[in-house]
Amino acid sequence: MENALYYTLSTIAQTLAGALAILVAAVLFKLSSLSKERELAADILRNNGIDPDIYLPMARDRGYEAMAARVQEVSGLVIAQIDFLRRACAAATAAYKTWVNLRLFTALGATVGDIAACLVALPYVWLIVAMVRRPSE
């Protein structure tokens, strides 16, 4: 009975650790592609004389129309009808929203918690704790 529990818990922990490694790799790949998407939009704005550090957050928070109005107010550039700028801002906004998606981090946290629970529940962990514990006097 103890062997079955030991092998079950250690197999669960190993399987979840392997799944976690694959999940982390996928997350890093996705974050890299989202970062490239944002940089592409920033380059497009920069090439059109618009500061992306100021105006991309504005487009994300208040929408493209508000950003275009502010650009026109500050610099005189009329960009409200320029479709490729609108698409670039929309792509950067979608990338940002995906980036901060908490479901991904919740999945990572749950997997790490499951691995930790399996490792704590392994019988040899309790044996080590019993061996290290000071004898009561």
Selection from 112, 135, 131, 125 nearest residue 2 by Cα: 125
Q: Could you tell me if residue 73 is inside a domain?
A: yes
Which DSSP category does 134 fall into? Answer: P
CA 130 – CA 49 distance, rounded (Å): 68
Domain count, the chain: 1
Q: Is the pLDDT of residue 122 over 90?
A: no
Q: Which of 98, 75, 76, 91 is nearest to 42 (CA)?
A: 91
Q: Could you tell me the pLDDT band of residue 137, with boundaries at 50, 70 and 90?
A: low
Q: How far apart are CA 98 and CA 19, in angstroms?
A: 21
Q: Residue 29's domain spans which residues? A: 2-132
Residues in the chain, total: 137
Between 6 and 44, where is the model more confident? 44
CA distance 107 to 119: 19
Asked whether residue 117 is assigned to any structural domain, the reply reads yes
Please give the pLDDT value at position 124.
63
User: 12 and 113 in contact (C-beta within 8 Å)?
Assistant: no
- Is residue 13 domain-resident? yes
- Domain assignment present for residue 137? The answer is no
Percentage of the chain modeled with pLDDT above 90: 22
**Cα angle 121, 122, 125; round to 5:** 100
Residue 100 vs residue 90, higher pLDDT: 90
